[in-house]
Structure 1
Amino acid sequence: MNKEVILQDLGLKDYKETWDYQEQIFKEILDIKIKNRREDAQLVTPNHFLFVEHPHVYTLGKSGDMSNLLVDEKQLKEKNATFYKINRGGDITYHGPGQIVGYPILDLDNFFTDIHKYLRFLEEMVILTLAEYGLKAERSKGETGVWLDVGTPFSRKICALGVRASRWVTMHGFALNVNANLGYFDLMIPCGIKDKAVTSLNVEIGQKEVSMEEVKEKLLKHFAILFEAEFTR
């Protein structure tokens, strides 16, 4: 079981380019697993973790409803935003500058073969990170992601989750609002859930800007503990 995770920070990168890169890594890991099974080989499968920030983009998951995007193509162009239908679970999501997007591309055979546990661990990583900023974040029953003030009229989402898995290899991941422009969330029904607000870390702690690098380091620290993983750069 290889618990080493190759870490890459891609900086600001186009969504489609990043998606293609994810697919390439995903396929490489799957090919190794297929070879191992067919040839009774024992090749080690790598694990990857990509950090990225995307230019303004809306993505719709496999089970998503197109009507949850509230603008047309012309309005998207006016907002300098793009749109893609993609192969993860979940509904509609926005990515943009000021948001930390993380794509763990893991062979869960190296960790544990339980997708539910995997999702809960990603949520826990974010919950523990936000606790370091004095926020009590939590899960909301029946809704993926990480929320604040669950069960109150002020419930709001701070982190979205959506993954794909095949043969226990994962891709896609999480999007944590750190210094996000929340106005872009008004152009959609976030994750298809009406009457739920969205927030960002800088808003919650009353800071103009929070260090993205600091948040990333905290996320990695908690990921490493939860997954008993070791990062290599």
Structure 2
Amino acid sequence: MVNVDVVSLGRLDYQQALSIQEGQAAKLLAGETEDQVVYTVEHPPTITVGKNGTRDHIVAPEATLDELGFAVYDVDRGGDVTYHGPGQLVLYPVLHLGPWNNDVSRYVRMLEQVVINALKHVDVESRRLDGYPGVWVGNAKVCAIGARVKKRKNGEFVTSHGLALNVTTDLSHFQTIVPCGIVDKGVTSVRELLTTEEVSLFEWEHRLLDSFADVFQVSLNEKR
């Protein structure tokens, strides 16, 4: 069984978290380590624009973003415009994909399955939606997925970025953007879906990691 280290970064600025995961990915790409690592993090209000995105999908005026304390970054993951913020649980798996047949499409499906299985444990039926990466409940996205892969000299892919699950997220913050450039669908959160239950980001961090271990068939070693 593959061993994966889990590093909880707590609440951390997006650029700082990006630097940490990129540093680990660089070591994997250079062959300086074989460690498999998953970072968990919660960001302050942040908008990221992926390689396939456009800042035209940021619809709030700059003055409004400043007032709300938003940071905006262009990033090298796939996808369009995404929001990160308090109450959203982000997983950044920095993995080399040899143990999973070096299959990037399979990797993305596995990330989606991690969330689908975790939600199923609380009787929420979620799904994939053809042509729209992520995890959906009805026509509302509860989890965004944006992976980035680079290739080692031996042809093995190394991953970065990952998934962002809305747990107790302030959904009004999504009104500042056209999420992922999709105009005809909504967003939701675990708290909105579980209206009769108390929802905790800490609890969902462990729930999601348990699901990750099951789907990826790995042993997790938490490093706090």
- Residue 5 of structure 1 corresponds to 4
1:180-211, Cα deviation, whole Å (9 max, x unpaired):
00010011100000021100111111047412
Tell me which residue corresponds to 1:225.
214
Residue in 2 that maps onto 1:184 = 173
Q: Distance in 2 between matches of 1:19 and 1:61?
A: 14
- Secondary structure class of the residue paired with 1:70: coil
Q: TM-score, normalised by structure 2?
A: 0.93
Paired residues for 1:2-151 under 5 Å = 3-32=2-31, 45-149=34-138
Counterpart amino acid of residue 78 in structure 1: E
Write the mapping of 1:153-192 to structure 2, written as runs, cut at 5 A.
155-167=139-151, 168-192=157-181
Ranges in structure 2 where 5+ consecutive residues have no aligned partner = 152-156
* Per-residue deviation, 1:72: 3.3
User: Within 2, Cα distance between the matches of 1:156 and 1:228?
Assistant: 29
Whether contact under 8 Å (2:40, 2:90) holds in the other structure is yes
Inter-CA distance 74–209: structure 2 relative to 1 (3 Å threshold)? farther
What is the letter of the counterpart of residue 164 of structure 1? R
Q: Give 2:81's aligned amino acid.
A: I
Aligned CA-pair RMSD: 1.3
TM-score by length of 1: 0.90
Match of 1:40 in 2: none
Larger Rg: 1
Provide Cα deviations, 1:125-169, integer angstroms capped at 9, x if missing partner: 1001011111100001100000011xxxxx111000001001100
SS at match of 1:32: coil
Shift of 1:220: 1.4
Question: Deviation digits for residues 201-224 of structure 1, max 9, x if unmatched?
Answer: 111110474122221222112211
Deviation of the 1:57 alpha carbon? 0.2
Of all paired residues, the percent bearing the same amino acid is 38
Q: How many residues align?
A: 217
Question: Is the contact between residue 179 and residue 209 of structure 1 (CA under 8 Å) also seen in structure 2?
Answer: no
Equivalence for 2:154: none
Deviates more, 1:178-187 or 1:110-119: 110-119
Aligned residue type for 1:156 = A
Q: Is the CA contact 1:3–1:111 (under 8 Å) kept in the aligned structure 2? A: no
Letter of the structure 1 residue corresponding to residue 6 of structure 2: L
Displacement of 1:226: 1.6
Paired letter, 2:14: Y
What is the CA–CA distance in structure 2 between the aligned matches of 1:178 and 1:208, rounded to whole Å? 12
State the Cα distance separating 1:22 from its structure 2 match: 0.9
